[in-house]
Amino acid sequence: NAGVIQTPRHKVTGKGQEATLWCEPISGHSAVFWYRQTIVQGLEFLTYFRNQAPIDDSGMPKERFSAQMPNQSHSTLKIQSTQPQDSAVYLCASSLAPQGPETLYFGSGTRLTVL
Amino acid sequence: SQLAEENSWALSVHEGESVTVNCSYKTSITALQWYRQKSGKGPAQLILIRSNEREKRNGRLRATLDTSSQSSSLSITATRCEDTAVYFCATPPSGSWQLIFGSGTQLTVMP
């Protein structure tokens, strides 16, 4: 079990460019979560999927951010027209979650730096 | 404002000593989780304690939950340098599956 895999580990983009972050959840887990972590804001919930369906995107900035889960083996977080304030560590987590919130298994994150 | 929040920004102890991280939360909960995050890694769950439990152990770790005072604690005995990490408490809002994390407590264990 390789755990949750996030790629790339580091990404540097120029202001205005697009960034796509990838997450492979643990096989058999039905829930996938995206979080953003910064020194100032801490761990912020962005969005989550259950059985590939988007359930709650209340933490997603309304513009420029989108997330998808086209199949049960991967999810993507896309940021269009990146801005310096988007610089953060983006963490993906998965969970068995058959009955409700349970243990989240996090990947090591993607550190996004917007110049 | 956070649903759950650790009470200290940072703690430091020497190896072998015991330490306790405290957390307070704002609403009724079904469960509270403790996570640890080491540098360069994602958070990893240490203990999940449900609202009908008062204490839960995991090796050198012991979590308590006091629903009357809406507080929880995580105690680590016989600390080791590798316990150095940020410790978070986390709980979901009512009716939600998302976990809301506190700001974290940086624990440093010195040789």
Looking at residue A98, its pLDDT comes to 61
In chain A, pLDDT over 70 holds for what percent of residues? 95
The whole-number pLDDT of residue B96 equals 78
Euclidean distance between the first and the last CA atom of chain B, given in angstroms as a whole number: 36
pLDDT of res. B1: 53
| Mean pLDDT rounded to a whole number for chain B | 92
Whole-angstrom Cα distance, residue B79 to residue A39?
26
pLDDT more than 90, % of chain A: 88
Chain B residues touching A59 at Cβ < 8 A: 98
The strand pairing partners of B61, in sequence order, are: B58, B76
Is A45 in Cβ contact with B98 (below 8 Å)? yes
Of chain A, the end-to-end C-alpha distance in Å amounts to 35
Q: What is the pLDDT of residues B22-34, one digit of tens each?
A: 999 988 888 999 9
Dihedral sign, CA of A23, A27, A32, A35? negative
Reported as a pLDDT band with limits 50, 70 and 90, residue A72 is: very high
Q: Are B85 and B76 in contact (CB under 8 A)?
A: no
**Nearest-CA distance B101 → chain A (Å):** 6
Residues of chain A contacting residue B85, judged by C-beta atoms under 8 Å apart: none
Distance from CA of B17 to the nearest CA of A (A): 28
* Set of chain B residues whose Cβ sits within 8 Å of the Cβ of A91: 42-43
pLDDT above 80 for A100: no
Instruction: For residue A2, count other CB atoms closer than 10 A to its CB.
Output: 8
Residue among B35, B44, B26 nearest A109 (CA): B44
CB-based burial, B67-104: b 16+ in 10 Å, e otherwise? eeebbbbbebeebeeebbbbbbbbbbbeeebbbbbbeb
A40 φ/ψ angles, rounded to the nearest 5 degrees: -75, -45
Closest-CA distance, A65 to chain B, in angstroms, reads 18
Average pLDDT, integer, range A24-50: 94
Question: And the tokens for A64?
Answer: 């420029």
Residues of A in contact with B100 (CB under 8 A): 45
Q: Do B97 and A93 touch (CB under 8 A)?
A: no
C-beta separation of B97 from B90 below 8 A: no
pLDDT of residue A105: 96
Question: A106: exposed, middle or buried (C-beta count within 10 Å: 0-12, 13-18, 19+)?
Answer: buried
In angstroms, the CA B83 to CA A34 distance is 26
Tell me the nearest-neighbour CA distance from B29 into chain A, angstroms: 12
Minimum CA–CA partner of B29 in chain A? A101
* A79 in Cβ contact with A19 (< 8 Å): yes
pLDDT score of B97: 78
From A91, which residue of chain B is nearest by alpha-carbon distance?
B42
pLDDT at A112: 98
Task: Give yes or no for B44 touching A (CB within 8 A).
Answer: yes
Q: Are A114 and A52 in contact (CB under 8 A)?
A: no
Spans of chain B, pLDDT less than 50: none
